[in-house]
A and B are shown apart, each in its own frame.
Chain A
Amino acid sequence: EDQVTQSPEALRLQEGESSSLNCSYTVSGLRGLFWYRQDPGKGPEFLFTLYSAGEEKEKERLKATLTKKESFLHITAPKPEDSATYLCASSGGSYIPTFGRGTSLIVHP
């Protein structure tokens, strides 16, 4: 059974204070590792897909990396508008993404 574990559950940062979110996954035959952003009262919004260990993708202040067991979402010099819940998901043989519980990020000005 596919499993995705995210840590920490919650993270408070000062504006400009860089940090990383962790996603540990267990899946048979990884087809994709996904990161989504979810704002309160909204559906998740796609950020990145990573397909193989060593792959990295960047978008503005966010960079996602992938190893054989984990993915990290690095946030560089965050701003208050980066406050949201960040969800990690993996898909394997069934093609159906399995989501973690998310990391709730608050960035204080």
Chain B
Amino acid sequence: GAGVSQSPRYKVAKRGQDVALRCDPISGHVSLFWYQQALGQGPEFLTYFQNEAQLDKSGLPSDRFFAERPEGSVSTLKIQRTQQEDSAVYLCASSFPVEGGDTGELFFGEGSRLTVL
């Protein structure tokens, strides 16, 4: 596709339910990021992949959060036993690293808005 695609765009979950959020990056983009954005806040880093390798997961708020990118393309962010504080927009971004390893410009999807009741 032309851009980063995320699904579902909107998800309502009952507290305790498991959810899975999908990200389809731009074809050929090596780097993939997940960010969490609460209302009125900036994006907060969750995790980073280079191809299929998860190089940094320091931003995942608890062990209920899990991300994977098994074939180095599509990524899934899974949240187990959702809590109300998990309500936020989850943004996925991809990039093609520039010379020197810098991640360069990030291309963001439109996000998945999660509401936990």
Contact = CB atoms under 8 A, between A and B. Distances in A.
B42 A95 contact: no
Interface stretch (A12-20, A60-68, A76-84, A98-106): A98-106
Contact of B102 (A41, A95, A98): A95
B111 A91 contact: no
A49 B102 CA distance: 12
Interface residues of B, number: 25
Contact of B106 (A41, A94, A97): A97
A36 B110 CA distance: 14
Given A43-B91, A43-B93, A99 B42 contact: yes
A46 B42 contact: no
B84 to A, nearest CB: 21
B48 A96 contact: yes
B102 A102 contact: no
B43 A49 contact: no
A101 B41 contact: yes
Contact of A99 (B40, B43, B48, B103): B43
Contacts of A91: 102-103
A74 interface: no
Interface of A: 4, 6, 31-32, 34, 36, 41-46, 49, 87, 91, 94-102
21 contacts: A31-B102, A32-B104, A34-B105, A43-B109, A43-B110, A44-B106, A46-B106, A49-B105, A87-B42, A91-B102, A91-B103, A94-B56, A95-B102, A95-B103, A96-B45, A96-B48, A97-B45, A99-B45, A100-B42, A101-B40, A102-B41
Interface of B: 4, 33, 35, 40-45, 48, 56, 91, 93, 100-111
